[in-house]
Amino acid sequence: MKNIDSYTHLRGESVYLDDIPIINGTLWAAVFDSPVAHGRIVSLDAGDAEKMPGVVRVFTAKDIPGENQIGGIVPDEELLASSQVHFCGMPMALVVAESEEQAKAALKKIRIEIEPLEVITDPRIAKEKGELIIPPRTFNIGDTTAAWSECDYVFEGRTETNGQEHLYIETQGAYAVPQENGVIKIHSSTQGPTAVQRTAARVLGIPMHQVEVDTTRLGGGFGGKEDQATTWAVMCALATHYLKKPVKYSLHRMEDMRMTGKRHPYSSDFKIGLNKDLKILAYEAAFYQNAGAAADLSPAVMERTLFHCTNSYYVPNVKATAYSCRTNLPPNTAFRGFGGPQGMFVIEAAIAKTADALNIDASVIQQKNLLRTGDELPYGQKAESEANECWNKAVKLYDIGKLRHEVKQFNEANNLYKKGMALIPICFGISFTKTLMNQARSLVHVYTDGSVGVSTGAVEMGQGVNTKILQVAAAMFSIDPVKVKINSANTYRIANTSPSAASATADLNGKATEIACNAILARFKMVAAEEFKVEPGSVELKEEWVYVDGSKTSWDWEKLVMATFTRRISLSEHAHYTPPQIHFDLSREKGHPFAYHVYGTAIITVTIDCLRGIYEFDSVKVVHDFGSSMNVMIDIGQCEGGIVQGIGWMTMEEIVYDKEGRLRSNALSTYKVPDIYSVPKEIAIHFLETKKDNLAIFRSKAVGEPPLLYGIGAFFALRNALKAFNPDADIAFDAPLTPEKVLMSLYAQTSRDVNVPGRKEVMEK
Ligand code: MOS
């Protein structure tokens, strides 16, 4: 089935925040944010700003009627800075004016004095100074200390992965509209309508039932609007609360890039030990997460780094410790993969380093250590693994021998261009790691004409979740999908929702919808059974028709609906779902946190231009574990998008903060994201279809985050291409591997570099 949004998307009719008609009298907000990364506020004078034309009011911390607090996991983040600023871009004042231009003009009239304090941007320095968001956490299995002596090979190293700008096409924003009796309705471009509702209530000092949050769809989220959409929504609500007028704020791209957090950069250490058979016996890692100036979602992101620190491998002895380090950068936040990619990169680097030293291909080590069903992961859950199936299928289907041969031949025949290839297996756990968040509700109404309305807490952000939920309702009732309408996510219809995140939205909300439909279906069957004088068990609905014992009756869907209604039986249901079997014991760091895992293997090939340092990805060939896909088109879209986004993170996207904590890559002219020209020339996706029982909706496994992980392979493919040109280059595990870094590595001086034939020839030309 086609994505139900495709029609309105194509015609430009889909409604995003900026498509909501503006109510007469709407005011416009703009935030004044800190120009320095750390300091004590000596004074803030908005007197001149308030005298500017059109300005209605300037709000500061002292105007907040409730708590000046937006921290979700840890209460450590003010909405508006009161006495100190902790990062460049931290909101200090909110200007509200009759027009957007007037609000922006008034920002320039705010005068501040800030006494500078020490700025920390490096997570390792933060850790040394004891600046940790939460105490460190360690995952442990086996005994690494004892295992080292059994290892024939032991290697240590260090890795860096940089952040990543979400770059959702629709920037952050919100529109607050006053209702009667002090109620505020907020249209918010958020992945978490309940987070917005809860935080607005907290900051305004009003009950949650006074805040209605409504979200039709987002122009992208990628995690960036899981927690950080709240700020702007609450800003608008604050102004509406006082001024009793609609207030809108939709951020300019540069404001968004400057003021919001990104994927967490990590600096990490590893130690890996293998025996002669290349089995990984022991692995130790230390992760220094750059959390930014406040917790935001960092503790949860850090947790997922630990969960995924062994990627798709079985390692019997593991000790991994993670530190969430407080720095003076904007609070970093959720980003597709949620700390998982950062953890996986490190073990892939450890394997690559081992392969270099032993002069073998990394894939030999990767293959020998793939997870098997029954293997215990460092956190206690036993794998139900498709890792070997995906790997073996990829190797065979894409003829790895032939691919290798082609790369070798190409490299022998070319001096100015070199190819590199890498395999990357993935494993990603599906569920919120915080067990309590794994719950969802669905409200299903069957109307008397036979049409159906479904409301859930799922937020459509381009991932196609609404289409999947619609498919669930249509399949359950066996009706034409056009009879089903998916409504906006609204906190007045569906309460206490988890954000649309963790790849789990279709599973959780789809299952709740399945339960709701089933409850209504049971009533339909009772009514039909009574009419046809049979047991409800012999009634069936097939393609909008009632069947009894396999035979078509005189009742169609509409007739059945009306008959149920006229008997005064409810045509509506509000259902609750929570996945069974999941639990986690934080005191032991053991449990069964995930409903299931998603597996896959990708083969990535790249060609570098050894004169310019630029490169093109030839192909990404994937075998991905979809379970039993309920929507092939949407799932392919998620895979392709995830792969390109992952490659972007690993190769070209480079976030630069200077020593003073100022974002230098603060616009699209200085921050390069993949465009259509940087998409691999070929992306092949093979569906490993498994019919095995799992907790996915209709056994169609979650697909939002896992494909991004294939992008990690891009780094190692590039690295291999570099080594084909300059075998002695010592290429740091420092992502992204930008064209600049590639160029430097191509001509890196090493002790033996005079003997590199490829290099010499190029230098002679
Ligand atoms: Mo997503 S990174 O779990 O918002």
Q: Whose CA is nearest to atom 4 of ligand 1?
A: 223
Phi, psi (degrees; rounded to nearest 5) at 481: -55, -25
Is residue 223 within 6 Å of ligand 1 at its C-beta? yes
Ligand 1 close to Cβ of residue 334 (< 6 A): yes
Residue 230, φ and ψ in degrees, nearest 5: -60, -45
What is the average pLDDT across 200-218? 98
Tell me if 224 CB under 6 Å of ligand 1: no
Q: How confident is the model at residue 14 (pLDDT cuts 50, 70, 90)?
A: very high
**Percent above pLDDT 90 for the chain:** 97
Is 124 in contact with 271 (CB distance < 8 Å)? Answer: no
Find out whether the beta carbon of 433 lies less than 6 Å from any atom of ligand 1.
no
Q: Is pLDDT at 760 greater than 60 in this prediction?
A: no
- Distance from the alpha carbon of residue 60 to the mean position of ligand 1, in angstroms: 31
* pLDDT digits 0-9 by tens, 162-180: 999 999 999 999 999 999 9
Lowest-confidence pick of 342-356, 530-544, 706-720, 747-761: 747-761
Active site amino acids: 705
Residues 403-430 have pLDDT tens digits of: 999 999 999 999 999 999 999 999 999 9
DSSP reduced 3-state for 279: coil
How many whole angstroms from its chain centre is CA 213? 22
Question: 86 pLDDT exceeds 80?
Answer: yes
The per-residue pLDDT for range 575-613, each reduced to its tens digit, is: 999 999 999 999 999 999 999 999 999 999 999 999 999
Burial of 158 (0-12, 13-18, 19+ CB in 10 A): middle
Look at residue 764 in the predicted model and tell me its pLDDT: 37
At residue 688 the predicted structure's pLDDT band, cuts being 50, 70 and 90, is very high
Position 654: which residue type? E
- Percent of the chain residues past pLDDT 70, beyond the cut: 98
Name the H helices within 461-619. Answer: 465-477, 505-532, 557-566
pLDDT at 728: 87
Three-class SS state of 429 = strand
**pTM of the predicted model, to two decimals?**
0.96
Q: Tell me, what's the pLDDT at 691?
A: 84
Confidence of residue 290 (pLDDT cuts 50, 70, 90): very high
The DSSP line for 669-720 is TTS----GGGS-SEEEEEEEE-----SSGGGB---SSGGGGGGHHHHHHHHH
| Per-residue pLDDT reduced to its tens digit, 519-574 | 999 999 999 999 999 999 999 999 999 999 999 999 999 999 999 999 999 999 99
Selection from 453, 454, 436 nearest residue 497 by Cα:
436
**pLDDT-based confidence at 684, cuts 50/70/90?**
very high
Q: Helix 712-725 and helix 739-746: axis angle, to 10°? A: 30
Answer yes or no: is pLDDT of 761 > 60. no
Q: Tens digits of per-residue pLDDT, 59-78?
A: 999 999 999 999 999 999 99
Q: What is the mean pLDDT of residues 366-392?
A: 98
C-alpha of residue 673 to centroid of ligand 1, in Å: 19
What confidence tier does 758 reach under pLDDT thresholds 50, 70, 90?
Answer: very low
Contact 55, 103 (CB under 8 A): yes
- Model confidence at 750, in pLDDT bands (50, 70, 90)? low
pLDDT at 755: 40
165, 167, 215, 226, best to mutate for ligand 1 pocket (most atoms within 8 Å of CB): 226
Sheet with strand 615-627: strands edge to edge: 417-430, 596-609, 615-627, 682-689
